[in-house]
């Protein structure tokens, strides 16, 4: 190739996790290199030669956070020449969801630390990572309403109230328990198990449900998508 391009390609991910105690949380790493050494930032890094974008983000997530990713999709590409002070860096960003049991993390190569932050407790972030987070949140809110993506943030088996709390907290509005259940159950995507919730403090324990992926793919095939 006879062109002289001084542009680098990076990948970054917005990884969301959820628990009813903490609400929606984002996984951040503390940068151990300049620029912005010590700042919190989205996990990510430069793509290696010969590596696909997806491979790159999986590798970086593994190196930096060792968190088990449950859902991943591309989010948006950011390319303002000024977004990184070192050089022009185009960042292809990803949107990821993890299950509650992934709230255990360990820090590695590129980061001195990786840590979950509740959404309403986010510090200043490095580079334009705040903008990226904003776009990711918008995507999450949007998708939650027309694809059954919420299940990817919950355990394989969960009480119904957990799903309702997730929706209510991410969408930032109260939901009517009865109507919400009717809407969800209408699609036949949830199987009721014979188990109930254990030790949740006080109150009646809820029955546990599981997401039926097979029925989901059937519905998707027929082009019928779900809507809250």
Partner DNA sequence: CCAAAAGTGTTGGTAGTACACCCATGA
Partner DNA sequence: TCATGGGTGTACTACCAACACTTTTGG
Catalytically annotated residue among 113, 164, 195, 227: 113
Please say whether the beta carbons of 25 and 16 come within 8 A: yes
Please say whether the beta carbons of 119 and 23 come within 8 A: yes
Dmax (CA) for the chain in angstroms is: 70
Q: Shortest gap between Cβ of 105 and a second copy (angstroms)?
A: 26
Whole-angstrom distance, CA of residue 183 vs CA of residue 32 = 47
Please say whether the beta carbons of 142 and 150 come within 8 A: no
Stretch that binds a second copy, among 45-53, 98-106, 164-172, 202-210 (CB under 8 A): 45-53
The residue (of 7 and 225) whose beta carbon lies closer to DNA is 225
Q: Shortest gap between Cβ of 220 and a second copy (angstroms)?
A: 13
Please say whether the beta carbons of 133 and 211 come within 8 A: no
Polymer length of the chain = 228
Q: Residue 113 catalytic? A: yes
The contact set with DNA (CB under 7 A) reads 159-161, 176-179, 181-183, 186, 196, 199-207, 227
**From candidates 5, 120, 172, 179, binder to a second copy by CB under 8 A:** 5
- In the complex, the residues that contact a second copy under the rule CB under 8 A are 1, 3-9, 46-53, 74, 76-77, 79-81, 86-88, 90, 92
Catalytic residues: 113
């Amino acid at each position: 190739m006879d062109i002289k391009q001084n542009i680098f390609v990076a990948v970054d991910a917005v990884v969301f996790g959820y628990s009813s105690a903490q609400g929606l949380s984002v996984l951040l790493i503390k940068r151990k290199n300049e620029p912005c050494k010590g700042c919190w930032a989205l996990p990510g890094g430069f793509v290696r030669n010969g590596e696909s974008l997806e491979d790159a983000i999986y590798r970086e997530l593994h190196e930096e956070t060792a968190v088990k990713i449950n859902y991943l999709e591309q989010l948006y590409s950011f390319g303002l020449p000024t977004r990184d002070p070192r050089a022009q860096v185009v960042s292809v960003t990803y949107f990821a969801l993890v299950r509650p049991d992934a709230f255990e993390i360990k820090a590695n190569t590129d980061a001195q630390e990786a840590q979950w932050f509740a959404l309403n407790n986010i510090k200043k972030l490095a580079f334009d990572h705040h903008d990226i987070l904003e776009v990711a949140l918008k995507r999450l809110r949007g998708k939650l309403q027309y694809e059954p993506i919420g299940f990817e943030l919950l355990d394989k088996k969960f009480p119904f109230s957990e799903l309702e709390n997730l929706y209510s907290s991410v969408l930032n509005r109260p939901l009517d328990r009865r109507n919400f259940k009717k809407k969800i159950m209408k699609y036949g995507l949830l199987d009721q198990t014979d188990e109930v919730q254990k030790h949740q403090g006080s109150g009646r324990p809820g029955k546990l449900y599981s997401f039926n992926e097979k029925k989901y793919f059937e519905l998707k095939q027929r082009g019928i998508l779900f809507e809250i």
